Structure 1
Amino acid sequence: MDLLEYLFYPIYQAAILAAIGLYFLCRRRYRPALVSLVLGACWLWLCATPAMATRLRESLEHHYPQRDASTYARADAIVILGGGALPRYGLGPNTDDAYSLATRIGFGLQLFRDARADMVLLSGSDQAQRMARRLLWQGVPAGALQTECASTNTHENAVFSAAMLKRAKRSRILLVTSGFHMPRAAAAFANQGLDVIPAPSYDPVYPSWQAHPWWPKRSALHLSGHCLREYAGLWWYRLRGWA
């Protein structure tokens, strides 16, 4: 899956269609060449539009509406998955920076400050330690933090985190990750026997998207690629029995 996942990003899909088109062009088969080239260009353009990206994201997130941190039920632990963006400036004790609070670690911090749980587990080989340092700087007690640094994908996030949580006799968790990643992540953690409360972080708001929904944007292409990858990943996890 790690190598094949690149095939689910629109830019690679368009490149494959372009390569097929050029192959047919070299063989002087002009009609299939034109079809392949036009399909590739149209698909890339469509995935780069905010309208398409928003539709893909909403289709993944509609079961997991975003809510204020204070509205969530109390749990045994807050689990924050790595892989998302970190705050640009570091969260201050009283920060209200919209971008920072929209990150996974920012929303997890909000949950902790609202006393939704007294333990925070940070999972992910790339970011767990970095997130822990950020939260310590915010004043989160060291005794309230646990890090899981061995996992390299969502399945391992769930397996390794569940082992730590079960040893601590904490089975009810608030799971914090990006909204479009939540279907796969929540299913993977529930598959490990945990009682999962999905707590998606807030998605960034792009004002220009609403004004020009059919004008291609790099950020929209990026989001479309992530959403298509999530659909493929969810299918793969179900096939493997991981979700």
Structure 2
Amino acid sequence: MSYDFEDPRSAMDVVEYLLYPIYQMATLAAASLCFLCRRSYRAALVLLALGACWLWLCATPAMATRLLESLERHYPQRDASTYAKADAIVILGGGALPRYGVGSDADDAYSLATRIGFGLQLFRDARADMVLVSGSDQAQRMARRLQRQGVPVDAVQTECASTNTHENAEFSAVLLKRAKRSRILLVTSGFHMPRAAAAFANQGLDVIPAPAFDPVYPSWQAHPWWPKRSALRVTGRCLREYAGLWWYRLRGWA
């Protein structure tokens, strides 16, 4: 999985929401209202202005691109055939699934750019003879799609118990070590790779990062400082990823 924090769930839900700029703006607006009720007009105005400026900045492609590149810079995308061979290909759930699951349409550019699509390319290029898909919400669907695209049933394993990246790594490591496969090609989105690779390496696995292009992130052609909703979404996800990486390091999971 890509976006998570750990138990207690109720407390962490609040924290996750506060990592999104729009909720940060709402929090500052609520604080501003409190100051306004106390007739502290200057403090109210300052808080409201800060919230508006922060929201505007987070919604700009310039900010979103900078954050995204800072997470992805150590994990450049490469052709599947250029990767070293490994014992297994591990594909994490949480990303977009291909539009099509059967037939030649599944080989379109969009489908092959997803995590499952890039994992399929690695398998077709004989980078490993086993694929492990991990994630409670998508593992079974991903496994079926791989099998429909010609991956043998006995070459696909599923890990369906994990609900976050730490559990992806912990539960997958058990299956991989049982099969005596410690060198893995790890497939996930580039922005998620720093935390995912660290979590899997923390389980004693030899990790080769193999980032997939995440098609949910558009390229922005307009002015970089003109706010866009899609840029705000990317900024929010990147902020969550930075916070998640910090949390994993604090817990000793990365």
Output the amino acid matched with 2:218: Y
The SS at the match of 1:88 is: coil
Contact 2:28 2:48 (C-alpha < 8 Å) held by counterparts: yes
The answer for the alignment partner of 2:28 in structure 1 is: 17
Count of residue correspondences? 242
Q: Alpha-carbon deviations, 1:80-120, whole Å to 9, x = none?
A: 00011111233645754222222111111111111111100
Deviation string 1:12-31 (CA, Å, 9 cap, x unpaired) is: 11111111111111111111
Structure 1: runs of 5+ lacking an equivalent: none
Cα distance in 1, alignment partners of residues 218 and 174 from structure 2: 39
Measure the CA separation in 2 of the matches of 1:24 and 1:101: 52
Following superposition, the deviation at residue 210 of structure 1 comes to 2.9
CA distance in 1, matches of 2:170, 2:57: 37
Matched-pair identity in %: 84
Give the letter aligned to residue 116 of structure 2: I
- With the length of structure 1 as denominator, give the TM-score of the two structures: 0.95
| 8 Å contact from structure 1 (residues 69, 114) kept in 2 | yes
Report which stretch shifted further, 171-180 or 209-218: 209-218
Q: Counterparts of 1:219 and 1:98 in 2: how far apart (Å)?
A: 21
Q: 1:206 aligns with which of 215, 218, 238?
A: 218
Secondary structure in structure 2 of the residue aligned to 1:211 = coil
Distance 2:189 2:168 in 1: 14
Superposed CA offset, 1:164-215 (max 9, x none): 00000000000000101000000000000000000000143634x1332222
Confirm whether residue 116 of structure 1 aligns to residue 158 of structure 2. Answer: no
TM-score (norm 2): 0.91
Could you tell me which runs of 5 or more consecutive residues in structure 2 were left unpaired when the two chains were aligned: 6-11
2:96 to 60, 85, 96: 85
Give CA deviations for 1:137-180 in whole Å, capped at 9, x if unaligned.
11111111000000000000000000000000000000000101
Q: Would you say 1:242 and 2:250 are equivalent positions? A: no
Q: Which residue pairs with 2:118 in the alignment?
A: 107
**SS state of the match for residue 101, structure 2?**
coil
Instruction: Give the root-mean-square deviation of aligned CA atoms.
Output: 1.4
| Number of the residue aligned with 1:217 | 228
Map 1:59-70; keep pairs closer than 5 Å. Answer: 59-70=70-81
Contact 2:24 2:51 in 1 (8 A): yes
Quote the residue 2:8 is aligned against. Answer: none
Contact 1:91 1:106 in 2 (8 A): no
Deviations 1:28-47 (A, max 9, x none): 11111111111111111111
CA contact (8 A) 1:93 1:139 kept: no
